């Protein structure tokens, strides 16, 4: 349905809609950024926790294998479906793209978008001093997460804008209807006033005296104007 708006009503509607769109844009942008950061942190913590648990489990199995008298050749090293597991000696660990820091287990390599979790093997079973787990997908998927958030933001944004447009139309429609009713009332009133005023004008003659009949017309017309007023 097309709503016939005056220039002032169009300006008012545009101002309201612009304020609404601006407020929604700022609010949704803040929510999306907050959601992205919180989601990133939660996923990162889950990955690190999972790496820590697997690294400690692998380290325990290696130490138990050594304590049970097994050799490195006949020992079945654990495998992971999520992470890459490698075993390093003190010398071999130096080949990794970072320097070990005492008390720190998690390291990043921005060049390869890799997360490393280093678990020390204090017993040094079979010359294995460190168990290293690698995760190569999370850091590299940042762009995909941004795309996901952008798509989510865009979908919600378009929906909210559409709802705002519908609400604006519903808000402005009663105002337009009242204006039309007022215009119709003015037209009807003007039409009703036209008859008695015309009678007064016709009854008045500057060149002659007003007849008794003319006075009666004037009185009736004035009374009618008073009733309409």
- Longest Cα separation, the chain: 141
- Which residues are within 8 A (CB) of 18 and not within 5 positions of it... i.e. 6 or more apart? none
pLDDT per residue over 55-76, tens digit each?
999 999 999 988 888 888 888 8
CA distance 201 to 214: 10
Q: How many helices and strands, by DSSP H and E, does the chain display? A: 3, 4
Give the least confident one: 74-78, 83-87, 127-131: 74-78
Domain ranges of the chain: 7-149, 172-228
Is pLDDT of 207 > 50?
A: no
Arithmetic mean of pLDDT, 98-104: 90
Coil/strand/helix, residue 87: strand
Is pLDDT of 176 > 90?
A: no
Is pLDDT of 212 > 70?
A: no
Entry pTM: 0.64
The label of the residue with tokens 């479906």 reads 81
Q: Give ∠ CA 162-164-169 in degrees, rounded to 5.
A: 100
CA distance 145 to 147: 5
76 phi and psi, to 5 degrees?
Answer: -90, 100
On average, the pLDDT of the chain sits at: 82
């Amino acid at each position: 349905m097309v709503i016939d708006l005056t220039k002032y009503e169009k300006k008012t509607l545009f101002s309201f809609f612009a304020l609404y769109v601006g407020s929604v844009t700022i609010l949704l942008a803040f929510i999306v950024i907050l959601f992205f950061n919180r989601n990133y942190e939660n996923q990162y913590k889950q990955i690190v926790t999972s790496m820590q648990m697997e690294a400690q489990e692998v380290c325990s199995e290696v130490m138990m294998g050594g304590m049970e008298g097994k050799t490195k050749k006949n020992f079945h090293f654990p495998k992971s479906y999520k992470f890459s597991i490698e075993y390093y000696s003190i010398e071999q660990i130096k080949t990794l793209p970072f320097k070990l820091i005492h008390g720190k287990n998690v390291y990043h390599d921005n060049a390869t978008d890799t997360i490393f979790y280093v678990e020390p093997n204090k017993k040094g079973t079979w010359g294995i001093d460190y168990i290293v787990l690698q995760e190569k997908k999370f850091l590299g998927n940042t762009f995909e997460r941004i795309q996901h958030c952008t798509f989510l933001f865009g979908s919600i944004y378009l929906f909210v804008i559409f709802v705002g447009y519908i609400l604006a139309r519903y808000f402005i429609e009663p105002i337009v209807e009242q204006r039309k009713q007022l215009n119709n009332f003015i037209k009807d009133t003007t039409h009703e006033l036209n008859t008695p005023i015309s009678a007064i004008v016709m009854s008045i003659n500057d060149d002659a005296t007003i007849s008794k009949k003319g006075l009666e017309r004037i009185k009736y017309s004035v009374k009618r104007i008073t009733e309409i007023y």
